[in-house]
Amino acid sequence: MKRTLVILIMIMVIIISPLYAQMMAQGVREDFKTLENWKPQTFPKIPRHSTYSIQNEGGTNVLVAQADCSASGIIYNRSFNIYKTPVVKWKWKISNIYQAGDEKKKSGDDYPLRVYVIFKYDPDKAGTWEQAQYKALKLFYGEYPPHSSLNYIWANKKYPEHILPNPYTAKTQMILQQKGPEHAGQWIEERVNALGDYRKAFGVDPPAEARLAIMSDADNTGEKATGYVDYIEVSAQ
Protein backbone atom coordinates (compact mmCIF):
# COMPACT_ATOMS: atom_id res chain seq x y z
CA MET A 1 0.00 0.00 0.00
CA LYS A 2 2.71 2.45 0.98
CA ARG A 3 4.72 1.52 -2.12
CA THR A 4 1.68 2.19 -4.32
CA LEU A 5 1.10 5.57 -2.61
CA VAL A 6 4.73 6.59 -3.12
CA ILE A 7 4.54 5.64 -6.79
CA LEU A 8 1.32 7.66 -7.22
CA ILE A 9 2.89 10.71 -5.55
CA MET A 10 5.94 10.43 -7.78
CA ILE A 11 3.73 10.24 -10.87
CA MET A 12 1.78 13.31 -9.73
CA VAL A 13 5.00 15.27 -9.15
CA ILE A 14 6.27 14.26 -12.59
CA ILE A 15 2.99 15.38 -14.20
CA ILE A 16 2.32 18.53 -12.18
CA SER A 17 5.84 20.01 -12.12
CA PRO A 18 6.10 20.48 -15.90
CA LEU A 19 2.56 21.87 -15.99
CA TYR A 20 3.44 24.39 -13.28
CA ALA A 21 6.66 25.33 -15.07
CA GLN A 22 4.74 25.70 -18.32
CA MET A 23 2.15 27.89 -16.60
CA MET A 24 4.89 30.12 -15.18
CA ALA A 25 6.55 30.31 -18.60
CA GLN A 26 3.30 31.38 -20.24
CA GLY A 27 3.03 34.48 -18.11
CA VAL A 28 -0.23 36.25 -17.30
CA ARG A 29 -2.78 38.49 -18.99
CA GLU A 30 -5.46 40.65 -17.41
CA ASP A 31 -8.29 42.16 -19.47
CA PHE A 32 -10.16 43.57 -16.46
CA LYS A 33 -13.47 41.77 -16.79
CA THR A 34 -13.52 41.86 -12.97
CA LEU A 35 -11.15 42.75 -10.14
CA GLU A 36 -11.31 39.29 -8.51
CA ASN A 37 -7.66 38.64 -9.45
CA TRP A 38 -6.48 41.74 -7.60
CA LYS A 39 -6.19 42.59 -3.92
CA PRO A 40 -6.01 46.11 -2.44
CA GLN A 41 -2.77 47.53 -1.08
CA THR A 42 -3.16 50.35 1.42
CA PHE A 43 -0.67 52.20 3.61
CA PRO A 44 -1.08 52.67 7.40
CA LYS A 45 -0.25 56.39 7.45
CA ILE A 46 -2.41 57.32 4.44
CA PRO A 47 -6.09 57.33 5.49
CA ARG A 48 -7.56 58.35 2.14
CA HIS A 49 -7.46 55.62 -0.51
CA SER A 50 -7.60 55.79 -4.29
CA THR A 51 -10.46 53.91 -5.95
CA TYR A 52 -10.31 51.13 -8.56
CA SER A 53 -13.26 50.02 -10.66
CA ILE A 54 -14.20 48.46 -13.99
CA GLN A 55 -15.76 50.64 -16.68
CA ASN A 56 -16.99 49.80 -20.17
CA GLU A 57 -15.45 52.05 -22.80
CA GLY A 58 -16.39 51.48 -26.43
CA GLY A 59 -17.43 47.91 -25.73
CA THR A 60 -14.22 47.10 -23.85
CA ASN A 61 -13.82 46.76 -20.10
CA VAL A 62 -11.04 48.93 -18.66
CA LEU A 63 -9.62 49.54 -15.21
CA VAL A 64 -10.36 53.01 -13.86
CA ALA A 65 -7.97 54.27 -11.15
CA GLN A 66 -8.99 57.52 -9.45
CA ALA A 67 -6.78 59.48 -7.07
CA ASP A 68 -7.97 62.52 -5.12
CA CYS A 69 -5.55 63.56 -2.36
CA SER A 70 -5.23 59.80 -1.87
CA ALA A 71 -2.95 56.80 -2.29
CA SER A 72 -3.43 53.04 -2.55
CA GLY A 73 -2.85 50.32 -5.11
CA ILE A 74 -3.94 46.90 -6.28
CA ILE A 75 -1.70 43.81 -6.53
CA TYR A 76 -2.21 40.88 -8.89
CA ASN A 77 -2.64 37.62 -7.02
CA ARG A 78 -0.57 35.46 -9.37
CA SER A 79 3.22 35.57 -9.63
CA PHE A 80 5.46 34.86 -12.61
CA ASN A 81 9.08 33.99 -13.35
CA ILE A 82 10.88 37.08 -14.64
CA TYR A 83 13.55 34.98 -16.37
CA LYS A 84 11.00 32.97 -18.36
CA THR A 85 8.53 35.78 -18.99
CA PRO A 86 10.41 39.11 -18.92
CA VAL A 87 8.23 41.10 -21.33
CA VAL A 88 5.49 43.32 -19.89
CA LYS A 89 2.93 44.95 -22.18
CA TRP A 90 0.04 47.22 -21.31
CA LYS A 91 -2.22 49.94 -22.68
CA TRP A 92 -2.93 53.02 -20.58
CA LYS A 93 -4.06 56.64 -20.58
CA ILE A 94 -4.42 59.43 -18.02
CA SER A 95 -6.66 62.43 -17.61
CA ASN A 96 -3.86 64.79 -16.56
CA ILE A 97 -0.48 65.06 -14.86
CA TYR A 98 0.13 66.82 -11.52
CA GLN A 99 1.31 70.41 -11.54
CA ALA A 100 3.22 69.91 -8.28
CA GLY A 101 4.46 66.45 -9.26
CA ASP A 102 8.23 66.04 -9.26
CA GLU A 103 9.99 62.70 -9.67
CA LYS A 104 13.05 63.87 -7.72
CA LYS A 105 11.23 65.13 -4.60
CA LYS A 106 9.30 63.38 -1.85
CA SER A 107 6.73 66.18 -1.97
CA GLY A 108 6.18 65.47 -5.67
CA ASP A 109 6.21 61.67 -5.58
CA ASP A 110 2.70 61.25 -7.03
CA TYR A 111 1.69 59.87 -10.43
CA PRO A 112 -1.67 59.55 -12.15
CA LEU A 113 -0.70 55.99 -13.00
CA ARG A 114 2.11 53.56 -12.13
CA VAL A 115 2.71 49.96 -13.21
CA TYR A 116 4.84 48.00 -10.74
CA VAL A 117 6.86 44.83 -11.16
CA ILE A 118 7.46 43.71 -7.57
CA PHE A 119 10.16 41.15 -6.77
CA LYS A 120 9.74 38.70 -3.91
CA TYR A 121 12.36 38.55 -1.16
CA ASP A 122 14.16 35.18 -1.10
CA PRO A 123 15.76 34.47 2.32
CA ASP A 124 17.80 31.61 0.88
CA LYS A 125 19.71 34.04 -1.35
CA ALA A 126 20.14 36.84 1.19
CA GLY A 127 23.22 37.63 3.22
CA THR A 128 23.29 37.46 7.02
CA TRP A 129 22.68 41.19 7.53
CA GLU A 130 19.83 41.29 5.00
CA GLN A 131 18.24 38.22 6.58
CA ALA A 132 18.29 39.92 9.98
CA GLN A 133 16.72 43.08 8.55
CA TYR A 134 13.93 41.21 6.80
CA LYS A 135 13.21 39.05 9.86
CA ALA A 136 12.69 42.22 11.88
CA LEU A 137 10.41 43.64 9.19
CA LYS A 138 8.43 40.40 9.08
CA LEU A 139 7.86 40.61 12.84
CA PHE A 140 6.51 44.15 12.38
CA TYR A 141 4.39 43.64 9.23
CA GLY A 142 3.50 39.97 9.60
CA GLU A 143 5.14 39.02 6.29
CA TYR A 144 8.29 39.72 4.34
CA PRO A 145 8.20 43.00 2.42
CA PRO A 146 9.25 42.90 -1.25
CA HIS A 147 12.91 42.59 -2.10
CA SER A 148 12.75 45.40 -4.67
CA SER A 149 10.57 46.78 -7.44
CA LEU A 150 10.50 48.47 -10.81
CA ASN A 151 8.01 51.29 -11.12
CA TYR A 152 6.93 52.31 -14.64
CA ILE A 153 5.46 55.78 -14.22
CA TRP A 154 3.66 58.42 -16.24
CA ALA A 155 6.06 61.16 -15.12
CA ASN A 156 4.88 64.68 -14.44
CA LYS A 157 8.11 66.38 -15.51
CA LYS A 158 10.38 65.86 -18.51
CA TYR A 159 13.64 64.97 -16.84
CA PRO A 160 16.22 63.67 -19.34
CA GLU A 161 16.85 60.51 -17.31
CA HIS A 162 15.04 57.30 -18.20
CA ILE A 163 15.61 55.70 -14.78
CA LEU A 164 15.49 57.44 -11.39
CA PRO A 165 15.54 56.11 -7.82
CA ASN A 166 12.35 56.68 -5.92
CA PRO A 167 12.75 59.66 -3.53
CA TYR A 168 11.75 57.47 -0.57
CA THR A 169 13.73 54.31 -1.24
CA ALA A 170 16.43 53.06 -3.60
CA LYS A 171 14.75 49.63 -3.40
CA THR A 172 12.30 51.05 -5.94
CA GLN A 173 13.71 52.26 -9.24
CA MET A 174 11.42 54.34 -11.42
CA ILE A 175 11.28 54.02 -15.20
CA LEU A 176 10.04 57.27 -16.74
CA GLN A 177 7.93 55.53 -19.37
CA GLN A 178 5.87 58.56 -20.38
CA LYS A 179 6.72 62.17 -19.60
CA GLY A 180 4.55 65.26 -19.41
CA PRO A 181 1.03 66.15 -20.55
CA GLU A 182 1.32 65.90 -24.34
CA HIS A 183 -0.33 62.48 -24.60
CA ALA A 184 -2.80 62.90 -21.74
CA GLY A 185 -6.24 61.68 -22.83
CA GLN A 186 -4.75 59.31 -25.43
CA TRP A 187 -4.36 55.55 -25.24
CA ILE A 188 -0.70 54.51 -25.35
CA GLU A 189 0.54 50.93 -25.74
CA GLU A 190 3.77 50.00 -23.97
CA ARG A 191 6.17 47.08 -24.27
CA VAL A 192 9.15 46.71 -21.94
CA ASN A 193 11.68 44.06 -20.98
CA ALA A 194 11.48 44.14 -17.19
CA LEU A 195 14.47 41.82 -16.76
CA GLY A 196 16.69 44.10 -18.84
CA ASP A 197 15.34 47.19 -17.07
CA TYR A 198 16.06 45.64 -13.66
CA ARG A 199 19.65 44.92 -14.62
CA LYS A 200 20.07 48.51 -15.85
CA ALA A 201 18.41 50.01 -12.78
CA PHE A 202 20.01 47.90 -10.03
CA GLY A 203 23.14 46.53 -11.71
CA VAL A 204 22.39 42.95 -10.61
CA ASP A 205 20.02 40.11 -11.48
CA PRO A 206 16.62 40.15 -9.75
CA PRO A 207 14.93 37.44 -7.69
CA ALA A 208 13.03 35.10 -10.02
CA GLU A 209 9.51 35.49 -8.60
CA ALA A 210 7.65 38.70 -9.41
CA ARG A 211 4.15 40.17 -9.33
CA LEU A 212 2.31 43.03 -11.00
CA ALA A 213 0.73 45.98 -9.23
CA ILE A 214 -1.01 49.17 -10.32
CA MET A 215 -1.23 52.42 -8.42
CA SER A 216 -2.63 55.93 -8.72
CA ASP A 217 -1.70 58.38 -5.98
CA ALA A 218 -2.00 62.06 -5.11
CA ASP A 219 -1.41 62.20 -1.36
CA ASN A 220 1.76 64.33 -1.54
CA THR A 221 0.60 66.87 -4.12
CA GLY A 222 -3.02 67.09 -2.96
CA GLU A 223 -4.23 66.98 -6.57
CA LYS A 224 -6.42 64.53 -8.46
CA ALA A 225 -6.32 62.51 -11.67
CA THR A 226 -7.84 59.46 -13.32
CA GLY A 227 -5.85 56.69 -14.96
CA TYR A 228 -7.10 53.93 -17.25
CA VAL A 229 -5.63 50.52 -18.12
CA ASP A 230 -7.07 48.51 -21.02
CA TYR A 231 -4.99 45.38 -20.43
CA ILE A 232 -1.72 44.24 -18.94
CA GLU A 233 0.27 41.18 -20.02
CA VAL A 234 3.42 39.31 -19.08
CA SER A 235 4.98 37.03 -21.70
CA ALA A 236 8.17 35.40 -22.98
CA GLN A 237 10.46 37.08 -25.50
pLDDT of residue 108: 97
Which DSSP category does 126 fall into? S
Among 2-11, 129-138, 176-185, 202-211, the range scoring the smallest mean pLDDT is 2-11
**Residue 155 is part of a domain; what is its CATH number?**
2.60.120.260
Percent of the chain scoring above 90 in pLDDT = 74
Domain extent at residue 127: 28-235
Please give the model's pTM, rounded to 2 decimal places: 0.83
Contacts 24+ apart (CB under 8 A), 157-163: 157/101, 157/102, 157/103, 159/103, 159/104, 163/197, 163/200, 163/201
How far is residue 13 from each of residues 7, 28, 219, measured CA to CA in Å?
A: 10, 23, 48
Burial class of 190 by CB neighbour count within 10 A (0 to 12, 13 to 18, 19+): middle
Q: Would you place residue 9 in the very low, low, confident or very high pLDDT band (cuts 50, 70, 90)?
A: very low
Q: What number of CA atoms fall less than 13 Å from residue 205's CA on the CB side? A: 8
Work out the mean pLDDT of the chain and round it to a whole number: 85
Residue 100 lies in a domain: yes
Residue 228 lies in a domain: yes
How many structural domains compose the chain? 1
Pairwise pLDDT comparison (27 vs 52), residue with the higher score: 52
Residue pLDDT, tens place only, 56-71: 988 999 999 999 999 9
Residue 95 lies in a domain: yes
pLDDT of residue 122: 65
pLDDT of residue 128: 54
Residue pLDDT, tens place only, 107-129: 999 999 999 999 996 655 555 54
Mean pLDDT in residue range 99-108: 97
Residue 21 lies in a domain: no
Pairwise pLDDT comparison (135 vs 187), residue with the higher score: 187
Strand ranges (E), 133-223 = 148-155, 163-165, 172-179, 188-193, 209-217
Element spanning 196, H or E:
helix 194-202
Among 28-42, 126-140, 207-221, the range scoring the smallest mean pLDDT is 126-140
Residue 74 lies in a domain: yes
Residue pLDDT, tens place only, 150-208: 999 999 999 999 999 999 999 999 999 999 999 999 999 999 999 999 999 999 999 99
Burial class of 79 by CB neighbour count within 10 A (0 to 12, 13 to 18, 19+): middle
The residues pairing with 178 across neighbouring beta strands, listed in sequence order, are: 154
Residue 11 lies in a domain: no
